[in-house]
Chains A and B, each alone.
Chain A
Amino acid sequence: DAKTTQPTSMDCAEGRAANLPCNHSTISGNEYVYWYRQIHSQGPQYIIHGLKNNETNEMASLIITEDRKSSTLILPHATLRDTAVYYCIVRALNSGNTPLVFGKGTRLSVIA
């Protein structure tokens, strides 16, 4: 089920901010926006999640529009190690019996 839409790929210069967009126009009121990333040959890694307020942690910031129909993941100072596929996923919190469903994600290439 294509609940989110992301660009297939993006490039970003090393040291600059990487802004990864995600559209989720059919998001429900109880659904959160989650971001994961997968570095080549590794398992996906949780980055951040949020409901409606902007969130920030040591890895990234998440900006969610007021209508919650889209969001942006921001890596403030991208490094070469941030090159990965980034997945935007919407799901209800504590929905343990509803496993994560991954789409195709955005392939971010950080360029020196």
Chain B
Amino acid sequence: DAGITQSPRHKVTETGTPVTLRCHQTENHRYMYWYRQDPGHGLRLIHYSYGVKDTDKGEVSDGYSVSRSKTEDFLLTLESATSSQTSVYFCAISEFRGLQEGYTFGSGTRLTVV
């Protein structure tokens, strides 16, 4: 979607290797999120950020770390990828101004760990 991009769009990696996914926004939104989506589980929150260097864990944070050194970038790192981390990863941004609210999601990153 306009204003938010994820990279890479697709990646195949081997078990045990580190992987970093990038989410970049041009909207200057305060909040950024990483979700994963798997068949039968729907969208599940991994980590989120409510400002530069301010992050918190979601329901499926084990095996993942995040960093946000500047407003526009939110990085998701798999320190040592496992096959269970094969998934589609979505980044989202949001801002809250009065009655205006809404999440904007990226197009997703399809990660395969072999």
Chain A residues engaging chain B, CB cutoff 8 angstroms: 36, 38, 41-46, 49, 93-94, 96-97, 99-105
Contacts and interface: CB of A to CB of B under 8 A. Distances in A.
A94 B97 CA distance: 7
Chain B, interface residues (CB within 8 Å), range: 20 to 34
B18 interface: no
Nearest to B41: A104
A98 to B, nearest CB: 10
Contacts of B105: 42-45
15 contacts: A42-B105, A43-B105, A43-B106, A43-B107, A44-B92, A46-B102, A94-B98, A96-B30, A96-B94, A96-B96, A97-B56, A99-B58, A100-B92, A101-B45, A102-B44
A104 to B, nearest CB: 6
Contacts of A101: 45
A103 B80 CA distance: 29
B50 interface: yes
A38 B42 CA distance: 11
Nearest to A101: B45
Given A44-B103, A46-B102, A93-B99, A99 B45 contact: yes
Interface string B78-111: 0000000000001010101011011111111000
B42 A104 contact: yes
Given A42-B107, A45-B105, A96-B96, 19 more contacts: A36-B103, A43-B92, A43-B106, A43-B108, A44-B92, A46-B104, A49-B101, A93-B96, A93-B99, A93-B101, A96-B50, A97-B50, A99-B31, A99-B33, A99-B45, A100-B103, A101-B45, A102-B43, A104-B42
B62 interface: no
A43 B90 contact: yes
B74 interface: no
